[in-house]
Amino acid sequence: MSLPGGVLTTLPALPRAARGAVRQLLRVHAAAAASGPRADTEPPVTIPRDPAREAARRELSKRMYHENDPGLLQRALDKFWDWVDKLFGSAAASTPGGTLGLVVVIVAVLAVLGALWWRLGTPRREPASAAALFDDRPRSAAEHRAAAEAHAAQGHWNQAVQERMRAIVRSLEERALLDVRPGRTADEAAAEAGRALPAHSDRLHAAARDFDDVTYGGRLATEQSYHRTARLDGDLENTRPELASGDSAHSTAPDHRQGAAR
């Protein structure tokens, strides 16, 4: 930038907000130079580049030029969104298909996550100790079966599986294959019943896992899992317990003695 009379020969580009201030400085300096006597042989007055830059910097540091500047939070948000824009720009540049390809990849990832969430359920922490299988109000095995069938008829498979597992345990207690013990968990019931009914031990443990997954794991039961538990309930009703060898010998001893007496 130059002024008539050679007042200023060189000046770097300045922001628009400072142009008025710089122009005012230049006008004052030009007026002072023009008002003083100058001989024809006097060299023109010039301002070197560095002093001009320093003068402009001092002028721009005044508060009046920064009243409308964005705050610290706004500047931080601007930097964040600039970073996000650069990140997506880089990802789109390296993805086949550009921006459209990146969108397809993101949608595919979200679909996979949604499928896993639907299949596995909401992740939850395992409880420190499993809750009791039954509530405080005792019911018979027939009552639990009726409640399970009512839930199944309405498609409430979670409640149906829970009630059917309770029916299994209550039935075993009514048959004296399990001791009536308040606070028993499904896993404990399966382990104890498996010793009396070893042929069904694996299925008992599987039913207990289904009960725990629905009750504490946040998973959804299915119609298949309910019918699997219901079939186990029916099979256990028709199964006789296996007695231990010591109990068998003890129970047959009186028969031998009675036969000898006869």
Q: Would the pTM count as exceeding 0.75?
A: no
Query: Who's near 236: CB < 8 A, 6+ residues apart?
Result: 168, 171, 172, 197, 200
CB atoms within 10 A of CB 125: 6
- Domain limits, the chain: 16-65, 72-120, 141-244
Residue 209: Cβ-neighbour burial (10 angstroms; 0-12, 13-18, 19+): middle
Residue 214: Cβ-neighbour burial (10 angstroms; 0-12, 13-18, 19+): buried
Query: Who's near 125: CB < 8 A, 6+ residues apart?
Result: none
Q: Tell which phi-psi region holds residue 140, choosing left (phi > 0), alpha (psi between -120 and 50) or beta.
A: beta
Lookup: tokens for 45: 């007055």
pLDDT tens-digit series, residues 156-181? 999 999 999 999 999 998 988 888 88
Give the per-residue pLDDT at 162.
92
pLDDT tens-digit series, residues 25-47? 667 566 655 555 554 555 565 77
Among 129-138, 209-218, 246-255, the minimum mean pLDDT is found in 246-255
The CA distance from 145 to 233, in Å, is 9
The CA distance from 32 to 8, in Å, is 13
Looking only at Cα atoms, what is the longest distance across the chain?
159
Among 35-44, 113-122, 133-142, 237-246, the minimum mean pLDDT is found in 35-44
Give the confidence band of 262 by pLDDT, cuts at 50, 70, 90.
Answer: very low
